[in-house]
Chains A and B, each alone.
Chain A
Amino acid sequence: AQKVTQAQTEISVVEKEDVTLDCVYETRDTTYYLFWYKQPPSGELVFLIRRNSFDEQNEISGRYSWNFQKSTSSFNFTITASQVVDSAVYFCALISSGSARQLTFGSGTQLTVLP
């Protein structure tokens, strides 16, 4: 069985603040992939990043950065200098080698960036 936990249901920040979205996962498989998706109010899911279990290197893409730590089973997402356009629901997701290629989503974090 696999599980993804996003403990933060809602977060509000003021524009230009940094914000970190937490993601903790559970899986018994040694081979797995972690994802982050953004869902703006329009509804579509926007892919942000994919990370495999053998690559713990942190990644930075513009204002976005991801911290993958296998020791704590966490894959946290930080937005630096947040902007109003970052307001959306963010989902962390997991797929493991034993999951029949099914993505398991966390419950999502609603991020609101206030001007």
Chain B
Amino acid sequence: GAVVSQHPSRVICKSGTSVKIECRSLDFQATTMFWYRQFPKKSLMLMATSNEGSKATYEQGVEKDKFLINHASLTLSTLTVTSAHPEDSSFYICSATRTGNVVYGYTFGSGTRLTVV
């Protein structure tokens, strides 16, 4: 079955530093990956859609310069939280779908809990 690996699962960083989160599809090619943010006891909020080889599409209200997304290959997308602040603390989760066909569904990574101190 389709597996998405997300790393790290937890990270604590100091305010002002940058943090990179990786999302890898292990056994399938994913032209599209999605990045979500989830606040405690809230639903998943789509941050951006990451397309291999092109710029990510950000949802309204998401700062492009704060949340840098790179999708350099068909199996890897990265989210970098730049100059992190305590308000960036959250649960970030990625998902990937097989090339071009939503019928295969979406596979989610296990999530990354970011704490900025």
Report A's interface with B, CB cutoff 8 A. 33, 35, 37, 42-45, 47, 50, 52, 91, 95, 100-103, 105-108, 110
Q: Which of A43, A103, A108 contacts B34 (CB 8 A)?
A: A103
A108 to B107, CA, bound (A): 18
Q: How far is the CB of A3 from chain B (nearest CB, A)?
A: 12
Beyond A33-B102, A103-B34, is A44–B43 a contact (Cβ under 8 Å)?
Answer: no
* Complex: A90 Cα to B103 Cα, angstroms: 21
**A43, A44, A95, A110: which contacts B102 (Cβ < 8 A)?**
A95
Chain A-chain B contacts (Cβ-Cβ < 8 Å), number: 51
Q: Roughly how many angstroms separate A101 CA and B97 CA in the complex, as a whole number?
A: 9
Q: Which residues in window 21-63 of B have CB below 8 A to A?
A: 32, 34, 41-44, 46, 49
Given A100-B49, A102-B34, are A44 and B111 also a contact pair (CB < 8 Å)? Answer: yes
Chain B residues touching A, majority SS: strand
B16 within 8 A of A: no
Taking CB atoms, residues of chain B closer than 8 Å to A52 are 103
When distances are taken between beta carbons in the complex, the residues of chain B under 8 Å from A95 are: 102
In angstroms, how far is the closest chain A Cβ from the Cβ of B109? Answer: 8
A44 CA to B106 CA, complexed, in Å: 13
On whether the beta carbons of A108 and B43 are closer than 8 Å, the reply is yes
Report the separation of the CA atoms of residues A91 and B113 in the bound assembly, to the nearest whole angstrom: 19
B113 touches A102 (CB 8 A): no
Closest CB-CB distance, A61 to chain B, in whole Å? 15
The answer to whether A43 touches B91, judged by C-beta atoms less than 8 angstroms apart, is: yes
Give 9 A-B pairs besides A33-B105, A44-B109, A47-B107 with Cβ atoms closer than 8 angstroms. A35-B105, A44-B93, A44-B111, A101-B97, A102-B34, A102-B46, A102-B49, A103-B95, A107-B42
- Chain B hits for A101, CB < 8 A: 32, 49, 97, 102
Closest beta carbon of chain B to A104's beta carbon, Å? 8
Q: CB distance A50 to B105 under 8 Å?
A: yes
Provide the residues of chain A in CB contact with B91, threshold 8 Å.
43
